[in-house]
Structure 1
Amino acid sequence: SSMAGRFTSVLGVGGWDEFTDAVRAVMQSAEAVRDASGDAGPMAVLVQRQIDARRGGVMFGVDPVTGSTRHVVVEVVPSGPETLVGGTAVADHYVLTRRGRIERATLTGESPRLDGTLRRSLARMARRAERVFGAPQDIEWLVDSTDRLWLLQSRPVTAVATADEQRGSVLLGPGPLAETFPAALRPLEDDLWIPPLREGITRALHTSGAVSARTLERSPVVTTVGGWAAADLELIGVVEARSSLRRRVDPVAILRRLTTAWRVGRLRVAMPGLASDLVATVDRDLGEIPRLDTLTMEELVDLLDRSRRELATVHSYEVLVGILMIAQGTTSGAAVAVRALHDARSAGWNDEEVVSRAPVVLVLTAPALGVAPALPPEVQPRSGPVATLDQLDQREALRVRARWLQELLARAAEELGGRLVESATLPGVESIGDLALSELVDIANGGPAPGDLSERSAHEPGPPLPVSFRLTVAGDVRSASSSSHSRPDEHAAGIAAGGGRAVGVACHRSASRAPPKGAILVTRHLEPQLATVLGGLGGLVSETGSALSHLAILAREAGLPTVVGVPDALTRFPAGSRLMIDGHTGEVEVLEAPCEDAPRSMAEP
């Protein structure tokens, strides 16, 4: 340990009495730090001349988050570094190259921007200190009133991500998965839905040749972290993959691209017929399933296995249709579902009748185990004619079937688990979701319940995931967002999802209140339930999401300006601020900061 901050420092000492008091205070601080045997080590007191700082800060000769030795990380405050290291100041944050060029910066506006001369001097100081001490250093520095740069103290950087932690790690994030799985998944939910999705995407990418087999082997494709679904963002195209010059001119890679083009050409011809056949097959298979309460335990286990395999195939075809860019229609499954739900509400159907007689409404809900689909009580369908379920294009039709299969898997697992509860094999229905699918099947086949099952319910899911992150070898989440915004930015850019331009007041989603008419809704994810409120909005901004998602398509149909993939949008655009958004360019701009007396309905998250 570098013992950073463990001992007392006394500044601004004047006169002999203050000096002796300061020495005693420093000596006494050693008593609080003891070794493994309980002894306090010897203490030397360093006496230095006080230098009045015009500004100062801390500098690391290595990026402690990524472990990159190609960067120098500098934090600056308009005072001496004591306020920064003491945690009482918010600093400007710079990531510099080893020669002082800015790679990234997060600025508070409290300090003057670092000029090129000072940046180069700081980078040179970091390099020299590393040469002298043999390792990257944690340096406290300041600039005095004459613009002279001083090194105040230096110690080794101790808490650094190792190369092994970062090497080969992929860029992960919720991405478009947050639209389907907006909440953390329980173990059984994970096993029911995530492996078929992973297999389907992998199969599609391999079949199309869009990604090399080696890349697929190295990637998790889709996984869960702390119960939250995450995908390889570069693999699924949410962010642009890095490509070196060598890779672009590699003859093997060029040959693979040519082979892929030939294969894609053949697939594009065959795919429409194959997708239509699969939709018809799924509809037939679902129609032939008897009531679940009439099936035996063995039949339920078999149904779970067959349905997961069929779900993987549907996911694969849906991804392939997207990769091949087969011409698609303009109506989404969500639009059909909203119209169906509106008609059902007008007819006075209850939720159970709606799901049974118009199952397309399931696309407005997220799959969940142990709870009935939460249909919204009120909906605002788009005006004008809407396509029927049979008129949906192939990709939308496949998405609807995927949601049906997810619901079937949930209900079959619930039926199987419920019988085990009735026979007292499981302690209660709340324990079903804490099982892995393999455990549920083993118990159904006569095996014992896990001994720790009663303790699993106390296990909480992890915190929501950053928009983008990497995992260390130890499984820790390291955010890869370009910055962490402590206050609103005047401008931000995301992924343009269409719908034109709009100006309106930002609101954050509230579970108890509908967004105000004409408001710009700022949300973390494009959850299916949002489809019912789009009609009254002026615009939509999301931290995650895809321009090809259900909600984005539905928003475009309604002419609603939509921007997705805006990092930290909820922090950058507080409720009550006046925004301009452009669905064609992806631009989001703060026109006015929120008023102090903004309505609480806009301030509730």
Structure 2
Amino acid sequence: MTSPPHDRDMADVIDLTDHTPAPGDRDLLGGKALHLAELHAAELPVPRAVTVPADHPEPDAAAAQAHATLDAARYAVRSSSPAEDGGATSGAGRYESLLRIAPDALGRAIATVRDAEGDGPIPVIVMPFVELAAGGVAFSTDPLHGGPDRVIHAVIGHHAAVTDGLDPGVAHRVGPDGGVTVDGDRVLTDGQAERIASLTDQCAALLGTGVDVEFGVRDGGGDVVVLQARPLTSFPVWAAPPGVWVHDGAYSSSPVPPLLAPRLHALRTRVFGEGLAEAGALMTRLEHRCIGGHAYSQMSFAGAPEDARGGPPPAIVMGILARVHPELRRRARAAHAFLRDDAVTRHERELVAYDWEEAAAELADLASPSRLAADAAASLTRIVALLDELFELHYRWVLRVSTQRVGAAGRALERSGMSRTRSQRIVSGPLRAGTDTGRQARLMRDLARTMATDPAAVDAVRTVGAGPDVDTRAAEVLAHLADRPGELGRAVTQLLQAARVQSMGIDVDARTLGERPAALVEVLVGLLDGGDDPQESEADRQGAADRLLADAPAWTHDGIRAAWEQHHQRDRQGMALCAAIGAMRMAALHVGESLVSSGQLETSEQALCLTTEELVAAVVPAGGTPTIPEAVAEAARERDATLRRLTRLTPPAVIGATTPPEGGPPDLRFAPRALRVVNERIAWTVEAMFGGRTPPADRTPEGHVHHGVPASVGVVEGTARIVADHRDVVVLEDGEILVCPYTRPVWTAVLQRCGGVVTTHGGPLSHAAIVARELGIPAVCGVGDALTAIHDGDRLRVDGEAGTVTVLDG
């Protein structure tokens, strides 16, 4: 064994095979050699190598020592700077490596590599050049997206073709179950790929992080050797549990911080699981996880094998299984009890009685600056309790009430002989502009009516305009109006208090309306331009409802009205949920400001990268100065940095497989009646809410035609306005066509200036579809490639009846 670093002779090279890594070795050996020494110590298959320290006085003498130790015909001479292969940066491509060096040229090669950087000599690795049949780079996680697959890029011949960027190699993916898939012509056998994946996992465990590993497959026997391992700096490691995880694009357009999402995913998983069991759904589990900052879900079904990948069995087989399979029989009994006891009505009475507006008003009060300054601990604790309560009630309503009411109405219309498209249109409801969708919406409309009688106030909001300082001007105008005496001042003050916590997105990283006063002004201007007349709106709604019901058999009318009520409930609940998200954001930012003042965080937004438990602990005991342990502060800073890296990456559609699970809902025509009824309702609602698969784009003489789900009839041409991120605030010019992943209740009034709507997710019962119909503007939902194929400023034609979006040439 070599001597410890402080006792060594500067004229010695260091045999990594016979060296025990010690603290401080990075400066002596450099990053690359340090990792090789660690791999040697762990008995991984690494070629024997020596390191020439940076302070070795004679390259030729070092070459002689290396050749005497290794005795090879050819050598690889590689850099090993202390700055290389660290956890934060790899230094890849910055330093020199020379291959196939003859012994008599070894001294010159060592000198070249040692002094190549120009900032002083660095340690150098000398190892025998290994003749390879194949080689490449293996990643312990997908370097583009993350996920559990080990991704191996392999080429025939030497691995340097991959590392030097000359050949990307053929991707061999090894899943958590050991299965190997190949994207092209195979280079490695399954056995070799599995061996490389195993070695990559061992390197990751040894270095304590995700890694990329340079490997080779020796000529002749095919043995695998590890040539280098370094921390994976291009993508953080997000461990996905076993199984197939599908990206929930309808809930996740950008990565979100950990303050809220993991908590809500766990809550949704639990509540949905309980509801599925109570209703007798064939789906036994709908698990939600936050992976790489994005929402993913995994489903399992009664009677299906754990590794099932195909579609459901034929109807006759399902009918037999439902009567003999123990879990399916339990589900059938549960469905029978659910229908027999009219559980939908029982849950509906409890959930409808809840005062969502009162909860939203309390959240606005709890998150006010005065309450947070007086007792942040009490306010935050109550905000978290209310948030949990609201989301649990909402998740219960979704599965136990809304899905059943909407699905029952749709299936009834289809049994009467109506088409799927027409039944979806009727169930989606009549015009409902101006209906009671929450306290904030009423405050906004009331303020617009009051303001309409005050020409000076109308002129003030119209002069806000646009530009980089639009929010500053809007805030000044609204503050001035709030100071006005009488009804106008009171109305503005009430609106500002409610808007302060009204999130514009689906998570705490999205700003609230109160943080973006220009959006409030835009809504007010839209309402003023629209000339809101409540009596006319009521007449329009009633007339539209009568026309829809006239097309449906009388025996379906009560069920249709019950389905319509679910749309109102969704908006009312949605506004309260947005208030809960916004209140959590305001409280976190308040705590974050204190943590910045004490030097524990760099920005107040880093408080969003605490967990809920960490944030609550920061303000306990009550009355004290918020504080967090240094380890928690460091974790929050690292999470913030990770989140910023993640925003530049596109999440994979599927983790744990190359394609999503196949098949749609099973054919239950021969199953017990209760099981069939409950599950057909669920399947009908899911399709109407989220849509189905659509064909790829077509090329026509006018331009590219993209297909989606018809959502609101009419044809319009206009300029595309892309809003790809849920954190972006929607402020549209008149007639622009909004292109986005989805819409939210808080956007409703803003969309009044919109010429049309295109979404990547959703179906005829999605929020975007219903709002578009209420506003009388064309909409197409479920256009999966809209955000990648359409760009800001493109000229579009949206045909809401045909379900097409044409990007017009020229």
TM-score by length of 1: 0.58
Q: Which amino acid aligns with 2:247?
A: G
CA contact (8 A) 2:585 2:608 kept: no
Query: Equivalences for 1:335-346 in 2 at 5 Å?
Result: 340-341=443-444, 343-344=446-447
Mark the CA change 1:541 to 1:252 in structure 2 (over 3 Å): closer, same or farther: farther
**Corresponding residue for residue 186 of structure 1:** 257
Query: Equivalences for 1:413-452 in 2 at 5 Å?
Result: 417=591, 430=604, 432-446=607-621, 449-452=628-631
Q: Which amino acid aligns with 2:617?
A: D
Q: Deviations over 1:17-67 (max 9, x none)?
A: xxxxxxxx9967999999x99446458899xxxxxxxxxxxxxxxxx9999
**Corresponding residue for residue 469 of structure 1:** 653
Query: Equivalences for 1:314-393 in 2 at 5 Å?
Result: 314-320=393-399, 321-326=401-406, 330=430, 331=432, 340-341=443-444, 343-344=446-447, 347=451, 348=457, 350=478, 354=492, 356-357=494-495, 365-366=504-505, 368=508, 372-375=514-517, 376=519, 377-379=521-523, 380-381=526-527, 385=534, 393=568
**Corresponding residue for residue 275 of structure 1:** 351
1:559 correspondence with 2:776: yes
Q: Secondary structure at the match of 2:654?
A: strand
**Corresponding residue for residue 151 of structure 1:** none
CA contact (8 A) 2:251 2:295 kept: yes
Q: Which of 454, 457, 462 does residue 637 from structure 2 map onto?
A: 457
Q: Deviations over 1:124-168 (max 9, x none)?
A: xx69x969x9879xxxxxxxxxxxxxxxxxx9999xxxxxx9994
Query: Equivalences for 1:221-260 in 2 at 5 Å?
Result: 221=288, 223-226=289-292, 228-232=293-297, 243-245=311-313, 248=318, 250=321, 251-252=325-326, 254-256=328-330, 258-260=332-334
Question: Could you say what the CA RMSD is over the residues aligned between the two structures, in angstroms?
Answer: 6.2
Could you tell me how far apart the structure 2 residues matched to 1:575 and 1:411 are? 31
**Corresponding residue for residue 708 of structure 2:** 494
CA contact (8 A) 1:173 1:466 kept: no
Query: Equivalences for 1:72-151 in 2 at 5 Å?
Result: none
Query: Equivalences for 1:45-84 in 2 at 5 Å?
Result: none
**Corresponding residue for residue 17 of structure 1:** none
**For structure 1, which segment, 256-265 or 327-336, has the greater mean C-alpha deviation from structure 2 after superposition?**
327-336
Q: How big is the shift at 1:308?
A: 3.2
Could you tell me how far apart the structure 1 residues matched to 2:382 and 2:729 are? 38
Q: Deviations over 1:368-405 (max 9, x none)?
A: 479744341212246664579x9983332222232233
Q: Which of 788, 792, 808 does residue 571 from structure 1 map onto?
A: 788
Q: How big is the shift at 1:335?
A: 6.9
Q: Which of 241, 249, 273 does residue 175 from structure 1 map onto?
A: 249
CA contact (8 A) 2:780 2:800 kept: yes
Q: Secondary structure at the match of 1:556?
A: helix
CA contact (8 A) 1:335 1:554 kept: no
Q: Which amino acid aligns with 1:292?
A: R
Unaligned runs of 5+ in 1: 2-6, 8-24, 47-63, 74-82, 96-104, 106-121, 137-154, 159-164, 596-605
Q: How big is the shift at 1:563?
A: 2.7
Mark the CA change 1:443 to 1:471 in structure 2 (over 3 Å): closer, same or farther: same
CA contact (8 A) 2:443 2:494 kept: no
Q: Secondary structure at the match of 2:259?
A: helix
Q: Which amino acid aligns with 1:325?
A: R
CA contact (8 A) 1:318 1:398 kept: no
Q: Secondary structure at the match of 1:172?
A: strand
Q: Which amino acid aligns with 1:378?
A: E
Larger % of helix: which?
2
Q: Which amino acid aligns with 1:312?
A: F
Q: Which amino acid aligns with 1:272?
A: E
Q: Which amino acid aligns with 2:388?
A: R
Q: How big is the shift at 1:183?
A: 5.5
Mark the CA change 1:365 to 1:479 in structure 2 (over 3 Å): closer, same or farther: farther
Q: Deviations over 1:275-302 (max 9, x none)?
A: 2212369559949978735975664354
Mark the CA change 1:355 to 1:419 in structure 2 (over 3 Å): closer, same or farther: same
Q: Which of 361, 378, 386 does residue 307 from structure 1 map onto?
A: 386
Could you tell me how far apart the structure 2 residues matched to 1:338 and 1:285 are? 13
Q: How big is the shift at 1:245?
A: 1.7
Mark the CA change 1:440 to 1:519 in structure 2 (over 3 Å): closer, same or farther: closer
Unaligned runs of 5+ in 2: 1-44, 46-75, 77-97, 114-122, 134-141, 154-160, 174-182, 195-221, 227-238, 302-308, 410-427, 452-456, 458-476, 483-490, 542-564, 662-692
**Bigger CA radius of gyration:** 2
Could you tell me how far apart the structure 1 residues matched to 2:577 and 2:276 are? 18
Q: How big is the shift at 1:324?
A: 1.4
Could you tell me how far apart the structure 2 residues matched to 1:520 and 1:591 are? 13
Q: How big is the shift at 1:451?
A: 0.9
TM-score by length of 2: 0.46
Q: How big is the shift at 1:311?
A: 1.9
